Amino acid sequence: MLIHEVTSSLQLFSATVRVATSAGGTSSVKTAVHAESAQHARQLLTHVYGVNSVTGLVLVREKLGEAMTTTAAGPLTADQLRLKALSDQKAQIGQREKQERARQKLVKAQQQMAQSRQTAIKTLPTLGV
């Protein structure tokens, strides 16, 4: 198992697909699928419903576990969606900041280890080893 299989979250997609009816015609139905990306969702749906059956695919929820864009009272207003988008951007920036701090800390530790090795190599000949 790879680390990205555990850490990556699934996205929720809503799709409209064409299915065969018992009368020999076709009908459009809506369904939902969880996948890592739109391409993966389309591949899953194509495998289940057949080639050229997916007529529409829309991202419903960015990551599994996040709140959907509707409330008990109904869909969010444009102002509420803007605030939610800004809040999401703030969270993403905070996550990137944490990642950058961790990266810088790792680089600093690697530099200190390299410096310690150089110091140890220089002192070995003087110790008579």
Can you give the pTM of this predicted structure?
A: 0.44
96-103: average pLDDT:
94
120-129: average pLDDT:
70
How far apart CA 41 and CA 33 sit, in angstroms, is 6
pLDDT of residue 71: 47
